[in-house]
Structure 1
Amino acid sequence: MSLVASSPGSSDDPRSRPGRKLGPIAEGVGTAHRAWLEPVRDRYFASGLTVSDLARKAGWSKSKVSELLRGTGLYPSWEFTYGLLHVLGMPTWPMRRLWSAAAREACKKQEWIDGCIEKVVLSTGPDRPPVDHRAFADINAAAYLSYAGVFVSPADADRIADEAFDVLWLRWEEALRSANLRKFAWQFLRRGVMARTPHIDGRPQLGPAAFDTVALHQAPAYRKFAQIEESLALFQAVSRLPDPQLDVIVLIHLRGMSHTQAAEVLGVPHAFVCSAERHAKRSLTTALSPGENRP
C-alpha cells in the first residue's frame, strides 16, 4: 500500500472520498503530539478509507476517530491509538515512544501512561528499527545533536533527535522511496528544533551554545564584553538568514563541520552549500556594517 497520497483534484485522490472531509490538525496541538499525528494522518489519507471505515475496522466510534485524527478532545489512550495503527498497518514500536513523549507533553502522569501501555500487547512490526535505519541514525546522530544544541538545551536536543529518528522509522518505507533520504530525514530534525526554539519576529533565536565560539574563548579579558556585544549582533543577523543559509552557517561556522560534512547531513550538493555560505556571508557583512556598504 502506498503511503503517498494522490495529488489534489485527481480522480483517485483519497481526499475526494465520499462523506465529510477530515479537518486540519487543531490549533494548540503540542509539538510531540503533532510529530506522530502528521504521519498517521498521511497514512490515513493514502489508505483510501473514510473515517467511518476506519472507525468500523478499529472498533471505535466515528466521532472518537475524527477527534484523534484532528488532535481535538482529550489526549487519546494508547489502546485507542493502537487500534487505528493496527488498521492502517503502521509500525507500533516507534509510535509507542512518540505517543508516550506526547503524553508527557500533555501533562499526563507516568502512572496513566504506564497503565495505558500495559493494556496492549504489541504485535505489529519488529521492536527494533530496520538495520539500515539504525545505520543511518548512528551516522547522523552526532550531527543532529550538534545542530539542535545551538538552539535548545542538551536535554531537549536529545529528545528532539530521538523523536526525529522515531518519526523516520515510522515513515521508513516512504523514506526509502524518496529521491533523497538525507534530505527527507533532515526535515523532521529541523522541524522539531524550530518548534521548540524561541522566535522573535518569526525568526529563531540562537541559544547559549552559540556563544561557545573561538572568538569569545580567545578574547582577552578587557575585550570580553565588546566581543559578547559583537557576537550578539552576529547571532541576531544569522537568525534572520533564509533557512538554507542559516543551516549552513550553523553547521560550518558554529559547529565546525566541513562543507562536505554539511552537504551530507543536509542532503544537498556540495556546490549548494558553498553557494549558500557565500550568499550568507554577503548578507551578514551588509547587516553588520551597513555604513561601509553605502555608495
Structure 2
Amino acid sequence: MTPHFVPPQQPTGGPSGKPGRKLGPIAESVGSTHRAWLEPLRSSFLASGMTISDMSAQTGWAKSKISELLRGTGLYPRWEITHSLLSLLGVPTWPMRRLWTSAAREARKKPEWIERCVEKQVLSAEDPPLDHGAFTELQADAYLAYATVFLSPREQAVRAVRDTFDILWLGWNDALASSDVVKYAWPVLRRTVMTRARHVDGRPELSDAAFDTIALRAATTSDEKFAQIEESVVLFATMSWLPDHQLDVMVLRHLRGMEPSEVADVLGVPIASVRSDERHAKHTLETALCTEQDSEGNPT
C-alpha cells in the first residue's frame, strides 16, 4: 500500500541557499486537467522549503525549465522533467502520470508524443490508500451516472471520474482532515465534470439528456417521441439555470432515478437538504414552464 503523501520535511537548519524569487501564479491559459495536477505539485514544492535553485541542483534540470513547469508557461512539459520533480518532492507518480496524460490530450498533444514521453520512465503500479480505494468503490457508479449526463461520449465521462479519484488520491490527507470526506469529494467531481462539459451562456448544456429519459423510452409512436423530446429540451434548458446544488439533486433524482437517501449519501448532505432542494427546484421549473406556455398562448 502506498503511504499517504506527506510533503518532505525541511532538513534541520532551514532551506538551503537564498530564498530565491517568489513563485509566480499559474498561467491563465493552463487547461483544467493540467491545473488539476499542477496545483498539488506546486503545493508540495512550496511546503518542501526548497527553492527552484535547490530543485535544479538535485534534478539537473535548468531553473528556467522548472520555473516554466511550475507556472504552466511555455510548452506542455514532458513527462521526464515532471517525473523528476515528483520523485524529488515525494508526490505519488501513478495518479500524476494519468492526470499528466489526460492533460496532454487536452493540450492536443499527439498520441505518439505522449507514448514516447511516458515510455522513457517505467513505473511500477502504485496502490492508493486503502480507505481511498474503499471510497472509490463506494462512489464510482454514482459519479459515473452523474458525469454521463454532461459528458459525451461515455469515454469522456469515464475519464473525468477516473481523474477525479486521482485528484482525490493526491489530496487524500486533506480529504481525511475535512469534516466529511464525501462532502469534500463531491465538489472535486463536479469541478472536473463541469470544466469539460459544453456550456451555453455560462450554464452546462443538458440537451443531450433529452434523448435519454424514461418518458421518451416509454413513447411508442414517432409523434409521441417527437413531442417528448421537444418537451424535454425545454425542461432541461430551464433546469440548467438552477442553482448548482439544486441542479445536482435534480440530475441524480430524476435523470438517474436515485432515492433521496442515495443522493444524500453521494453529496454528503442530510436527506432534509435533498428534499428541500428538490422541492425548490420543482417550484422554479414549474413556474418557468408555465410562464413559457403563457408566452406561447397555451393554457396553463
Q: TM-score category by the smaller chain? A: 0.7 to 0.9
One-letter amino acid matched to 1:198 = R
Equivalent residues of 2:95, 2:169 under 8 A apart? yes
Residue in 1 that maps onto 2:289: 288
1:263 partnered with 2:264: yes
Equivalent residues of 1:149, 1:209 under 8 A apart? no
1:68 partnered with 2:69: yes
TM-score normalized with structure 2 length:
0.84
Equivalent residues of 1:248, 1:273 under 8 A apart? yes
Equivalent residues of 1:259, 1:270 under 8 A apart? yes
One-letter amino acid matched to 1:189 = L
Q: How does 1:203-282 map to 2 (within 5 A)?
A: 203-221=203-221, 222-282=223-283
Tell me which moved more, 195-204 or 129-138: 129-138
CA drift at 1:216: 1.9
Q: Percent identity?
A: 60
TM-score normalized with structure 1 length:
0.85
CA drift at 1:62: 2.2
1:199 partnered with 2:199: yes
Equivalent residues of 2:83, 2:93 under 8 A apart? yes
In 1, Cα distance between equivalents of 2:128 and 2:140 = 15
Residue in 1 that maps onto 2:100: 99
CA drift at 1:223: 3.1
One-letter amino acid matched to 2:41 = V
Residue in 2 that maps onto 1:130: 129
Please list every run of 5 or more consecutive structure 1 residues that lacks an aligned counterpart in the other structure. Answer: 4-16
CA deviation profile, 1:34-83 (whole Å, cap 9, x unmatched)? 22112212323333434334433433222211211111111111120111
In 1, Cα distance between equivalents of 2:120 and 2:284 = 56
Equivalent residues of 2:210, 2:229 under 8 A apart? no
Query: CA 1:143/1:60 → structure 2, altered by over 3 Å: closer, same or farther?
Result: same
CA deviation profile, 1:128-175 (whole Å, cap 9, x unmatched)? 222221211111111111001101111111111111111111222222
Residue in 2 that maps onto 1:168: 168
CA drift at 1:104: 2.7
Equivalent residues of 1:245, 1:280 under 8 A apart? yes
Equivalenced residues, count: 278
Please list every run of 5 or more consecutive structure 2 residues that lacks an aligned counterpart in the other structure. Answer: 8-17, 295-300
CA drift at 1:119: 2.9
In 2, Cα distance between equivalents of 1:162 and 1:291 = 39
Residue in 1 that maps onto 2:188: 188
In 2, Cα distance between equivalents of 1:285 and 1:137 = 36
CA deviation profile, 1:165-217 (whole Å, cap 9, x unmatched)? 11111222222222221122222211121111111111001152343212222
- RMSD across aligned positions (CA): 2.4
Query: CA 1:196/1:291 → structure 2, altered by over 3 Å: closer, same or farther?
Result: closer
